[in-house]
Structure 1
Amino acid sequence: MIGLASVEEKDEASILEILYYLSELAVKYAREGLESDTKRLIERIKEIGIASALSGLELVVTNTLLLYSPVAKEACRKGLENAVVSIALAIGEIGKAAGGQKMEVPAKIAASCLGEMGNTAAFTRTRKETIAVIFALGEIGKSVTNQSLGDAANSTVTILGETGKVAVNQNFEDAALNAELLLQEIGTGAIEKNLKETADSSVRLLGDIGRTADMQGLERVLLQAAYSLETIKFDAQDRYLVSASLIAEVALMDFDNLGLDKLEEKLNKNWRRKRKFPDIEL
Structure 2
Amino acid sequence: MFSKKEDKMVNLGFNSVRERFDEGVNKALSCLTEIGIGYVNERKEPEAEKTVVSIKEIGKAAARQGMENAAVNAIQALEKLLQCSMEQNMQETNVRVLLSFGAIGKTAAKQQMEMAAKLAASVLGRSGNTAALLNKERETIAVIIGLGEIGKAIAGVKVPDFSENAAICISCLGDIGKLTAQKNLEEAAVGIELMLQEMAAAAMKENLQNTVINIASSIEEVGKKVEDENMESAILQAASALQTIVSNSGNRYLNDASIAAKIALESFNELDIINDEANIKKIEAIRETMRALWVDSK
Fold match by TM threshold 0.5: yes
Distance (whole Å) between structure 2 residues aligned to residue 184 and residue 111 of structure 1: 18
Counterpart of 1:9 in structure 2 is 19
| Whole-Å separation in 2 of the counterparts to 1:274 and 1:21 | 37
Distance 1:46 1:208, change over 3 A: same
Match of 1:58 in 2: 68
Tell me the alpha carbon deviations over residues 61-94 of structure 1, each in whole angstroms, 9 at most, x when there is no partner.
1111122222111111111111100101111111
Q: Does 1:25 align with 2:35?
A: yes
1:228 corresponds to which of 226, 238, 241: 241
The one-letter amino acid of 2:280's match is N
Q: Matches of 1:4 and 1:160 in 2, distance apart?
A: 33
What is the identity, as a one-letter code, of the residue corresponding to 1:264?
N
Choose from 115, 120, 125 the match for 1:115.
125
1:207 shift after superposition: 0.3
Q: Which residue of 1 aligns with 2:257?
A: 244
Aligned counterparts of 1:276 and 1:270: Cα–Cα separation in 2? 10
The TM-score normalised by the length of structure 2 is 0.87
What are structure 2's unaligned runs of at least 5 residues? 1-9
CA distance in 2: counterparts of 1:72 and 1:88, whole angstroms: 8
Cα deviation per residue 1:220-277 (whole Å; 9 max; x = unaligned)?
A: 101110111011012222233333222212211211x35246x122531573698222
List 4+ stretches of structure 1 deviating above 4 A. Answer: 1-6, 278-282
Q: TM-score, normalised by structure 1?
A: 0.91
Q: Which residue of 1 aligns with 2:287?
A: 275
Superposed CA RMSD:
2.2
Counterparts of 1:273 and 1:77, CA distance in 2: 30
Question: Which residue of 80, 94, 101 maps to 1:70?
Answer: 80
Q: Distance in 2 between matches of 1:174 and 1:260?
A: 18
CA distance in 1, matches of 2:56, 2:170: 23
Match of 2:7 in 1: none
Q: How does 1:60-99 map to 2 (within 5 A)?
A: 60-99=70-109
User: Which stretch shifts more, 119-128 or 151-160?
Assistant: 151-160
Which amino acid in 1 is paired with 2:146? A
Q: Match for residue 146 of structure 1?
A: 156
Q: Supply the distance in 2 between the matched residues of 1:268 and 1:183 (Cα, whole angstroms).
A: 18
Mapped partners of 1:46, 1:69: distance in 2? 11
In structure 2, the partner of 1:161 is 174
**Which of 49, 54, 59 does residue 39 from structure 1 map onto?**
49
Matched, 1:265 2:264: no
Alignment check: 8 A CA contact 2:227 2:272 kept: no
Deviations 1:119-141 (A, max 9, x none): 11111111111111111111111
Match of 1:190 among 187, 190, 203: 203
Q: The residue matched to 1:275 in structure 2 has which SS?
A: helix
Conserved 8 A contact 2:37-2:48: yes
